Every structure is written in structure tokens, then in C-alpha cells.
Homo-oligomer: A and B are copies of this chain.
Amino acid sequence: MQAIIASTSTVHGSSYLDYLKPTLKNHFHDSEEVLFIPFARPGGISHEDYTAKASQGLKSCVKSVKGLHEFSDMKQAISEAKAIFVGGGNTFLLVKQLHELDLMKTLKRSIEHGARYLGTSAGSNICGVSMQTTNDMPIVYPPSFQALGILDFNINPHYLDADMSSTHKGETRETRIKEFQTLNSEIVIGLREGSWIKINNLEITLEGALPARIFEPGKQAYELNPNRPIKF
């Protein structure tokens, strides 16, 4: 497997996918065409508009980007793709579509068989065992919370440290993840914006400048430094 699983598409002060460009040029260096899955529809944007945005973002990296919605046989499109990008937005919406169109297994198989994968935000969340550590609002009801499971842990994208000066009483991200682990056994990686996970065959590493926060059930949460293997 070859995958880039990023916390966010965009970091503060730069434009869409900009901070990932050097990485993506290398990742997609022999990919002519990228199949874009626009189902997460950030802000309710249409599949067409979202695909145009992805196409613009990947312009300097690949020749062409096609939206999955343009294909009449989506399973075939995924199976035959040499490179796949699943963009961010709402994870519930993305997972609902993938399950209802029966694409989850096809997508997993395609990645396992060598399609070069890029995920950002919701598109990274689905690489985990389940989507249950998403930050998103449940704007639709998916038939299942199961995700691709190409990683054997869960991802919390856009991970945010608690703001100690805040007077807000809503749960911190750490509290939410710990609540998840009172009822589930998956390890969770809190992936800060600017961080990504790289899968290079059997090697899984944390990339970017920042450490990630690791939650193993029953242990104190701890930091993992970048450029290190992720191994439990």
C-alpha cells in the first residue's frame, strides 16, 4: 500500500493542499489520472464544484482529476484507478454514500492492490477501523460506522489540544476520545493539522513537523514525534 493520510487539506495561511505539494508530487509521480471521491461535500458544495477544486489543488502534481460521480460504474472506476483522492467534508455523508453504494470493500481492495491513496480530513478518518472518532456533526444517518480499516487504529483528524484559558464547558477533544475508549478498544491517533501518516508498503510513519497524540486504551495519552514509525 502507498497512502498519504492527512489531518487537513489546508493549513493556516496557505491555500488548498499547498503544504502537501512536495509530498504529493512524489506520491503521484507516476499517476496520470487521479480518481477523486467528492462525497463528503464540505459546506454542501456540489460534486462537480468539489472535483474542480481538487483538480485545481492537484494541478501541479497530476495530469487530470476525474470525479467518481462522473462514472456510471463506480465500482469499476475504483477498481481500475491507479490513484485515488478522498477529500474532506462531512464524514457521516462520506461513509453513508460509500456504504449505500457498496463501495467500501471495493475501495479497500483497490488501495490494498496498489492504488496510490490520498485522504484529507474525512478522507483520512475513513482509513481507520471506524469513523467513530470523527469531529463531524451527524447530518445524515449512515447504515454503519465501519470504515475502510486499512489502518488497525482510529484517526482523529484536526486534533486540537485543550485550550487551558477557555471558559467553555463542552468536552475537550481528549475527553471525547477517552469517552470513545470506555466503550471501544481501538487505539486512536490525534493527528494535528500539518501532520500526515504515510503508508509505504508495510512501513507506517508519522510525517510533518508536529508530534501526534496517541491514545491507547488504559494508558495515559502520550506524544509521538514525527518521522517515527507508528507501531503498537
* A13 interface contact, C-beta 8 A: yes
The stretch that binds B, out of A98-106, A107-115, A134-142, A221-229, is: A134-142
Q: Is B179 a contact of A139 with CB atoms below 8 Å?
A: yes
| A143, chain B: closest CB distance, angstroms | 10
B168 and A137 contact, CB distance less than 8 A: no
Chain B residue contacts of A43, Cβ below 8 A: 175, 178-179, 182
Binary per-residue interface labels of chain A (125-166) against chain B in the complex, 1 for a CB within 8 Å, 0 otherwise: 000000111111111110011000000000000101000000
By the criterion of a CB under 8 Å from any partner CB, how many residues of chain A are at the interface?
Answer: 44
Chain B proximity mask over A19-61: 1 for CB below 8 Å, otherwise 0: 0000000000000000000000111100000000000000000
Complex alpha-carbon distance, A135 and B10, angstroms: 23
A124 located at the interface, meaning its Cβ lies under 8 Å from any Cβ of chain B in the complex: no
Q: Would you call the interface of chain A mostly helix, strand, loop, or mixed?
A: loop
Taking CB atoms and an 8 Å cut-off, the chain A residues in 176-195 that contact chain B are: 176-180, 182-184, 193
Q: How far is the CA of A132 from the CA of B179 in the complex (A)?
A: 19
For the complex, give the distance between the alpha carbons of A170 and B138 in Å: 15
Q: Which residues of B contact A12 (CB under 8 A)?
A: 167-169
A183 touches B141 (CB 8 A): no
Give, as a whole number of angstroms, the nearest-CB distance from A215 to chain B. Answer: 12
**A45 closest partner in B (C-beta):** B182
- State the A residues within 8 Å of B (CB): 8-13, 41-44, 89-90, 92-93, 131-141, 144-145, 158, 160, 167-171, 175-180, 182-184, 193
**A-B pairs, 5 with minimum CB distance:** A44-B182, A12-B167, A158-B170, A139-B180, A137-B176
17 contacts between A and B (CB under 8 A): A8-B170, A10-B169, A12-B168, A12-B169, A13-B167, A41-B179, A42-B179, A132-B141, A133-B137, A135-B171, A137-B179, A139-B183, A139-B184, A140-B183, A141-B144, A141-B145, A158-B170
